[in-house]
Structure 1
C-alpha cells in the first residue's frame, strides 16, 4: 500500500518492557503532565526526557487530529502514537485523505505518518464482531479471543500453536492476523476487604455485596435512572445488592452484568435517593478529594495506543498520593478477548470495576473504561512488564449519558 509521511520515522515500538524499580506514575489531581511523563518513562525506559515531555504535552492535540479524521469515518482507519519517536501514526483508506491527514497534523504541530489501508476502523469493528459471534472454523477456534490492530489494519485472533495447526489456510481470511495466545498469568481483580468514603458516589470507591467486593467506576444515566458502573464479573447470581461503607447504593441484576468478549461491565441501579439525585461525575483522588469527569470516549477509534490512562480504584500498591497511571499498549487485545491493554502498573485484587480514564495535559479527564483484570499479583516488582486490561466504554450501553463535573 502507498503511504505518506511528514518525516522519516523509525518503526513504532508499543510494548517496551517496564522498569520494575521505577516509581508508580500517579494522578494527584493537579498537574497531569508530570504523571503522564512518568508513565511514559515507566513503560518506555529508554525514552528521553524531552520526548516524554512532548508526548505528554501533545495528548490533547493528537485527539484534535483524531476528531478531524473521524469526521469522515468511511476513510478513517484509526491511529496510534509511538512515544519514543514522537510520531503520530494514522491510517486512511485513500491517498488523498492520507495527504490531508499529514497536512492537518502539520498544522497542529504534530509529526504524522499516514498509511493508506484497505479498511476503515468501522469496517474492522464489523469484521471483528463477525468472528466473535460466528460459527465457522476460525470463530470456533478463537473462543472470543479477537482484537483489532490499527498498525496492520487487520482483525487479530489469538490462537495456540495447536489451534493454528488444526485450521486449514482457507479458514483464515486475508484481513485476519493470527497472534500467539497469551501465556500471561491473569486474574480477575476481585476480593472482599477494605472500606472507603460514602458521602457521594465516585470512581474508585470500595463497593461490596454479600459475596465480595470490587471498585466503582463511573456514574451514568439512562433516562431518569442513574447507574453506578463496575465490572460485570463482580456480579454473582440473579441479582446483588451493593453498598459502600455500609451505605446502600442499589441492585445489579444478571441482565445488567456482561462479561463476554471485550465487555466486562456491570451497572448497579442507584436506588439510594441521595445518590440518585446527584448529577456530578467524580473521580476519587484520595478518601477526601476528587476531580471531575469532563468527558468520555464515544468511539473505539478515539482510544489510541500511546495514550496515558490512570485508574481510580480501591487499592494503590505501592501507596501513592494519587491514582496510578500507565500507557495504552493495545486498544483491542486479542489475547484477552479484545479488552484494552495498558502497561506500567499492575492493579490489585479488589480493583475490578475501577474507572480507567485518559489523562491529557489539559487535565480534562475523560472516562475510557472499567478495569477488568491484570497480571497475577499486586504491582509485582518482580514482573518485568506490568500489564492490565479494561473494558472500553464505547463497547457497552452507548445510549447512556455519563455524569460529568
Structure 2
C-alpha cells in the first residue's frame, strides 16, 4: 500500500509477485503455470509486471535478460557457478558454503523470506514461511545450492544445442513445450538445489555414483510433488520456528496408500514410466525392467528375486515420500531469488526471434489439457499491461497476440538476436 502511494499503481512488491507465482504454481489440484503452454504467456506477462513495477520507481530501467547459454558454453557442470555473474556485485554466490545455504555478501545477501505469511497467502509451509507447502525448510532467507540430494549436480544450464533445437520448431504447441523444457532447462534445479533428504545417506555409501543415481536424484522433487498433489504425501500443517526439521516434515500417508504395494502406488501416478533407479549392484533399472512389453507391472523385476524386487520398489517410494529441503529457485517461491527475474526474458527473446522469422510457423494454440491455465481461452491474472484500460483479465490467446514482437502495444524490444558463441561452435542460429 505504501509503495503504491509513493510510486503509483504500477508499483508491486516482491512478496506480491511471489504470492501470485505460489498461487498458480503451488496449487493442490495441478500446476496452472508450468508443464503446459501457459507457462510461456504467464511468465512473460509476470516479468512485464515486474518491469513496470521497477519503472514506477525508476523509469529508465528495463528488465534485463541472462543469456545462460554463455555459462553453458564456457563452463562445465562443476564450475559454472564460478561465472562472474555470481560475484557479490551481481547475483551473489551461486552455491553458498554455509549451513543456511544463503548468500552472505553483496546486495543479495540475507534476502528475507516472508514469515508469518498464513494471513497473506493461501500457500505457505508449516513454519509460516512463504515457501511451497512441500518445502519444510525453516531458513528465513533465500537459499541456493549447486548440490542435489548429496550429489554435486551433474547438470548445467541449457546451451547452444538446446536453443538450436528450439529454433527448429515449426508450430506453437511444440515450441511452447520446448520453451518450458529444453530451453528453460535445468536452471531452476541447478540454482536452487536440494538437501536434508534420506537419499543423501544412500549416496554417501556410493564411491563413484553411476548415471542412474543422478537420474533418480533429479526426479525426487518433481515426483514427490506429484504424490503431494495426489494426497499420498502429507506435510506438517503447522510448526513453531523452534521445531526441529526432524519433527516437521513430509511423509507418505498410510491411509492414502491404503494397503497398496509400492509398485502399485508408483504406477498409479505414472512414476514407473518415468523414473530411473538402481539396484544394490548399481545396475540401472527403468521402465523396461519395471514393465513387460504389454505395459503390465513386473512384481518381480528381471534379474532379481521377489524379495529384492520388493526392496527396490519400497526404496523408490520411500525416497519420494519427502522432497527434503529445496533451494528457493527449485520450487514455487522461486520469485524470491533475483535470478528468477532474468531467465524468462531469455525465453521471451528466443520466442521473439522465432516470431520474426521468415519460416512458416503454425501459431495454432490447441486446447489439450484439463489443467486450467494452459489452454487458449483460459484467463491469466493480468490486466492493463499494455497501456490500455483493459479492466478484465487477459486470456492466454490475448496475451499471445499482445506479446508479439510485431504488436504496436508491446512496450519493449530486445537489443539483438545473436548468439555468436553458438555460431562459432557451428550452430546455425536462424529463424
TM over 0.5: no
Normalising by structure 2, we get a TM-score of 0.25
Normalising by structure 1, we get a TM-score of 0.26
Higher helix share: 2
Q: Larger Rg: 1 or 2?
A: 2
